[in-house]
Amino acid sequence: MVLMDIASRLESLVGRRCVYKEVWCTVLSIEPPTKLRPETLVDEMQAAINQSLFTVHYEGVLIGGSDTGVISGRDISRFDGSY
């Protein structure tokens, strides 16, 4: 799979809900990796998620005094639906 296909799949996660440290969030934007680093993961999409930064809106809570934050894709435990 080429990086462009992965970038468009990552972009489709904007607006989706995800779980970060047991808190539901909504993805506002994604900063994808410019180059995928080789990983032992078979799934290139999961590798791209792990290497991306996500700007999210925390639903109903403040973390660090804010209702938004930037988190690593590695810290997201799941997304609503499939990607």
Which of 9-18, 41-50, 70-79 shows the lowest per-residue confidence on average (mean pLDDT)?
A: 41-50
Can you give the residue range of the structural domain that contains 22? 3-79
How many domains does the chain fold into? 1
Q: What is the DSSP letter of 37?
A: P
pTM across the whole model: 0.84
**Residue 68: pLDDT above 90?**
yes
Q: Token pair 């996660």 is at which residue? A: 13
Q: How many CA atoms lie within 13 A of 77 on its CB side?
A: 6
Looking up residue 68, the CATH number of its domain turns out to be 2.30.30
Q: Assign 34 a pLDDT band (cuts: 50, 70, 90).
A: confident
27 compared with 45, residue with greater pLDDT: 27
Best CA proximity match to 14, nearest among 55, 47, 46, 45: 55
Determine contact, residues 18/25, Cβ cutoff 8 Å.
Answer: yes
